[in-house]
């Protein structure tokens, strides 16, 4: 019989897909985990940053902070998916008080796909959000320098 509360593959997928909303923490630690309840905040702020860009344009300084905040948060949860997926069976089971040879910490192809997906998507989101913020900042700096020199 499986104790799905401790399944490594499911935890990796939840961190990858639902990590920005804390699903992996709710799964592993329960509804009383206060960190899980904090996870939606950076995600909501990032969504608000995208809405500000649509409303005020790409020169909105607050969106330059909010969008990368969401990107960093998603990259963090993708990294957690990678960490969960790459843990050895013994390490995974030991942290959860399971028998060392329990199948809950086993690695399967589904675990590997979660790790690969988290690596690809997490890296892309991280780089895209940082590039967006830095590009906007440097464009603004150049415009400010031109205004000063005139």
Please list, in sequence order, all residues whose beta carbon lies within 8 angstroms of the beta carbon of residue 65, skipping any fewer than 6 positions away.
Answer: 49, 133
| Structural domain spans, the chain | 4-149
Tens of pLDDT, residue by residue over 70-117, are 999 999 999 999 999 999 999 998 888 888 888 888 889 999 999 999
Q: How remote is the C-alpha of 117 from its chain's centroid? A: 12
Confidence of residue 34 (pLDDT cuts 50, 70, 90): very high
**Percent with pLDDT over 70 in the chain:** 97
Look at residues 55, 79, 81, 82 and name the one whose alpha carbon lies nearest to residue 66: 55
Asked if pLDDT for residue 42 goes beyond 50, the answer is yes
Please list, in sequence order, all residues whose beta carbon lies within 8 angstroms of the beta carbon of residue 95, skipping any fewer than 6 positions away.
Answer: none
- Are 127 and 25 in contact by the 8 Å Cβ rule? The answer is no
Asked if pLDDT for residue 2 goes beyond 50, the answer is no
């Amino acid at each position: 019989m499986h104790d799905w509360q401790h399944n490594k593959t499911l935890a990796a997928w939840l961190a990858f897909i639902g990590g920005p909303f804390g699903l992996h923490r709710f799964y592993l630690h329960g509804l009383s985990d206060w960190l899980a309840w904090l996870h939606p905040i950076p995600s909501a702020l990032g969504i608000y940053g995208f809405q500000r860009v649509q409303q005020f344009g790409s020169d909105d300084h607050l969106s330059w902070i909010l969008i990368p905040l969401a990107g960093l948060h998603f990259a963090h949860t993708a990294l957690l998916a990678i960490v969960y997926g790459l843990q050895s069976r013994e390490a995974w089971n030991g942290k959860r008080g399971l028998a060392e040879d329990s199948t809950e910490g086993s690695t399967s192809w589904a675990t590997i796909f979660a790790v690969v997906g988290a690596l690809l998507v997490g890296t892309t989101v991280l780089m895209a959000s940082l590039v967006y913020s830095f590009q906007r900042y440097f464009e603004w700096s150049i415009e400010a320098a031109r205004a000063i020199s005139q």
